[in-house]
Amino acid sequence: MKLSQDDLIVGLDIGSTKVCTVIGEITEHGSVEIIGVGISPSEGLRRGVVVNIESTLRSVSSAIESAEMMSGREVRNVITGIAGAHIEGINSRGVVAVTGKGREINQTDILRVIEASKAIVIPMDREVIHVIPQEYIVDDQGGIKDPMDMIGIRLESEVHIITGSVTSAQNLLKCVNRSGLKVEDIVLQSIASSEAVLSNSEKELGVLLIDLGGGTTDILLYIGGAPYHTDVVTIGGDQVTSDLSIMLKTPSDFAEKIKLESGCCYLPLVDRDEEVIIPGVGGWPAASVPRTELCKIIEPRMVEIFSMVRSQLERKDYLKHLRGGVVLTGGGASMPGTVELASQIFDVPARIGMPPRLGGLSDTYMKPDFTTAVGLVLYGLNQILSEDIKNPLLRNGGEGFKGKLKNWMKEFF
C-alpha cells in the first residue's frame, strides 16, 4: 500500500476513567509521528463497558476535539480499543491436509487451517475479535512461524482466539458512530498496549503485560512471541480510590487527588515521618495522617490485584514462562511502589511500560496512561505495512473486519 504524508492513524482509547485520543501522521518514510493528543474524563463506562450512551458520546467527542485542535487536522476514521470483563481468550488448534501443487503450502492452505482452528463452540452472544497464530506444525515439526512455501502433507495451527460480547461491542461502536466518526478496526486494548511497550525479544522470552486501568486490570501473557493467555480482573484504580474514600472519610474526588499526589503501594518506600493533609469537608477542619497509613490502605488492594493475576497463571502453569518479567502499564502503573510490589509477588523483574518516542509531542503522550491509545496507532501502522493487510481473515477471525462491523451494527440500520 502506498503511503502519503496526509495519511492519519487515530487511536481512540475509551476507558473507565478517561477517554484518550492520539493522532498519528504517517511520514513518507513509513514511520508515524504523533501530532495530536486529547483527553477527557470518561463518564459513561463502568469496568470497561458502556453503561450510558450519551455520557460516553460526550466524552469521546471532547477527547477528539482536543486532539483535533492540537493537531490542526480533522479526524474521520479511528481505531478503537475494547476491554471489559466480557473479554475471553481461548487457545485452539486446527488441522488440514496440504492441497497445493507438489504438496507446497500456499496462502489458501494457511487460511484453511486458521479457519479449522476456529471450529470451537462459542455462545451466540459472543463474537471473535482476534485470531492470532501462535505457531504452525508441518508433519509434526513444530515451532514454525510462517509455513509458506514449505513442503508437507499435514498442516496444523495453534492459535489464540479472543472473543467478546456482541452487545458491548455494538454499544461501543454506536457511541463512536454517533460522534460522527467511522471505526476502521476494533482491537483488544491489551493487544494495542503490547504494541507500544513490549519488545520482540521480551515476547519471545515470555512476558506478562498488566494494564492497570481505572475500572479493570487487563492481562496478556506472551510465550514464544505470541499471546497465550488473555483475561481481565474486574478491580482497578477506582477501587483503591474507594478504599481511601471510606477509610479517610473523605469524598471520592478528594481521595483520588490524595492517591495521585501522595499514594504509594509499597511500605518500605515510605518515609515514616511524612504527613499527608486530608482536606476538611462540610465545615470540618483539615487533618493530617501519616503517609504510612495511606500506604496501609492502598497496598492490600494492589496485593489483591496482583495475587488474582498470579493465581490465574498458576492454575494454567504459566508462571514458569515469565523469563521476560512483568511489564506494568496504564494509569495505575504511575503509582510509586507498583514495580517493587509486582516484582515481589511474581518473583521476577518488573518494569513500567512507557509509549515509545514517536516525535512531536513526546512530553504529552509518553506516560503509562497513554499506552493503549499510542498502541492503537502503532497497531494501525503495522497493519498498513504488513502483507497480512491483504488477508483480514488472519487478523480478524474469518470474515474480515467489515463483516464483523456489519454483523455488530445490523440492529441499528
| Successive 10-residue mean pLDDT values, the chain, 413 residues | 60 87 86 88 73 82 90 88 87 90 88 90 86 92 88 93 87 84 89 92 94 89 94 89 90 89 90 84 80 92 94 92 93 92 94 85 79 92 68 44 53 46
Q: pLDDT value at position 318? A: 92
Cα–Cα distance, 191 to 220 (Å, whole number): 7
Q: pLDDT value at position 149? A: 85
Q: pLDDT value at position 340? A: 95
Q: Strands 350-352 and 326-329, how do they pair?
A: parallel
* pTM of this structure: 0.87
Cα–Cα distance, 66 to 60 (Å, whole number): 10
Cα–Cα distance, 370 to 364 (Å, whole number): 9
Q: pLDDT value at position 408? A: 53
Which CATH number is associated with domain 88-163?
3.30.1490.110
Where are the chain's structural domains?
88-163
Q: pLDDT value at position 392? A: 43
